[in-house]
Chain A
Amino acid sequence: MNTAGTAVSLSNIPSLIASTGKVAHVQVSLGLVATETSTNGVAPTPTIQGLSTTLAYTFTEQQRVGTATNQ
């Protein structure tokens, strides 16, 4: 999980490593806090309850460096 909000490299997408025309399905998963307890009908302070936000993501793909193979 990327919790720092910084770019991370994805080195485990085999579809793109293969040949031309391959498709990679990439999924972004956002998990909200699961430890927030409401007591007697009152949310804790601060709280994530009732809040909203926008999740923006950018994937950058780049061709790997070419490798020589036997012809």
Chain B
Amino acid sequence: MTVHHLHHSARRTAAIAAVLLCAVFVAPIHAGAAGRVSGTGIGSGSVTSGKWLATVSPTGMTFTTATDQTATVANTGTIALSGISYKVTVSTPASGSPTFKLYTCTVAWSSNKCGSGTGTQVGSTLSKGSTTTVGSTVAIAVGADEYLQVEPTGVTSSVTVTLGTSINPATQLRSPIPTNH
């Protein structure tokens, strides 16, 4: 009898990841030999999962004039994020038909500018009385921030925009991590 014992131990963070464990068997089969030959390969591996979390602050903005407002999105998890979905709710004002656009930037907004540019629009124009989920593909490292700016037009009375984050691991780009070979 030929017995192969394969003991592996590894510990890696894995979020959406798969863990790959490999075993190699050498065939101990001898054609024509008397009896039957068998063997066993045994192995194990430790697996840990990360956290994919993000918060936005503030979560609510009240517009009484057509002045841009900003929010900060923080990666509060333990893995880098390659995309975040935002649930944007626009209230219905007493008057007027304001519209809003959501922009994202990798640096903090300054004087309504993303660096020297305008940032990247996320989704399309948002209307009053709507709830829309839009997706941003800006990557955020662990502990880092993404910066949002809500740009209104046509505001004639108080209207509120509410922001929420949503992270589905299926939208992330994390590749499988082999832990044992």
Q: Which residues of A contact B (CB under 8 A)?
A: 15-16, 18-43, 48-66
A61 touches B40 (CB 8 A): yes
On chain A, the residues within 8 Å of B169 by CB distance are: 33-37
The reply to whether the CB of B62 lies closer than 8 angstroms to some CB of chain A is no
A-B contact pairs, 11 of them (CB 8 A): A20-B29, A26-B23, A29-B176, A49-B52, A49-B77, A52-B46, A53-B47, A57-B42, A58-B40, A59-B40, A63-B38
Q: How far is the CA of A43 from the CA of B166 in the complex (A)?
A: 10
Closest B residue to A33 by beta carbon equals: B169
Q: Which residues of B contact A (CB under 8 A)?
A: 14-32, 36-56, 59, 76-78, 164-170, 176
A28 touches B38 (CB 8 A): no
A16 touches B53 (CB 8 A): no
B49 touches A62 (CB 8 A): no
Q: How far is the CA of A22 from the CA of B59 in the complex (A)?
A: 62
Q: Is the interface of B mostly helix, strand, loop or mixed?
A: strand
Q: How far is the CA of A64 from the CA of B31 in the complex (A)?
A: 10
On chain A, the residues within 8 Å of B16 by CB distance are: 32, 34
A59 touches B23 (CB 8 A): yes
A42 touches B47 (CB 8 A): no
B44 touches A55 (CB 8 A): yes
B166 touches A50 (CB 8 A): no
- B179 shortest CB reach to chain A, Å: 9
Decide: A28 near B49, CB < 8 A? Known: A59-B40, A61-B39: no
On chain A, the residues within 8 Å of B52 by CB distance are: 38, 49
Q: How far is the CA of A21 from the CA of B2 in the complex (A)?
A: 13
B23 touches A20 (CB 8 A): no
On chain B, the residues within 8 Å of A15 by CB distance are: 27
B50 touches A49 (CB 8 A): yes
A26 touches B22 (CB 8 A): yes
A66 touches B44 (CB 8 A): no
Q: How far is the CA of A34 from the CA of B21 in the complex (A)?
A: 20
On chain B, the residues within 8 Å of A19 by CB distance are: 31
* A49 in complex: contacting residue of B22, B49, B54, CB < 8 Å: B49
Q: How far is the CA of A36 from the CA of B79 in the complex (A)?
A: 15
B165 touches A41 (CB 8 A): yes
A29 touches B20 (CB 8 A): yes
A58 touches B42 (CB 8 A): yes
B30 touches A20 (CB 8 A): yes
- B19 shortest CB reach to chain A, Å: 4
B44 touches A63 (CB 8 A): no
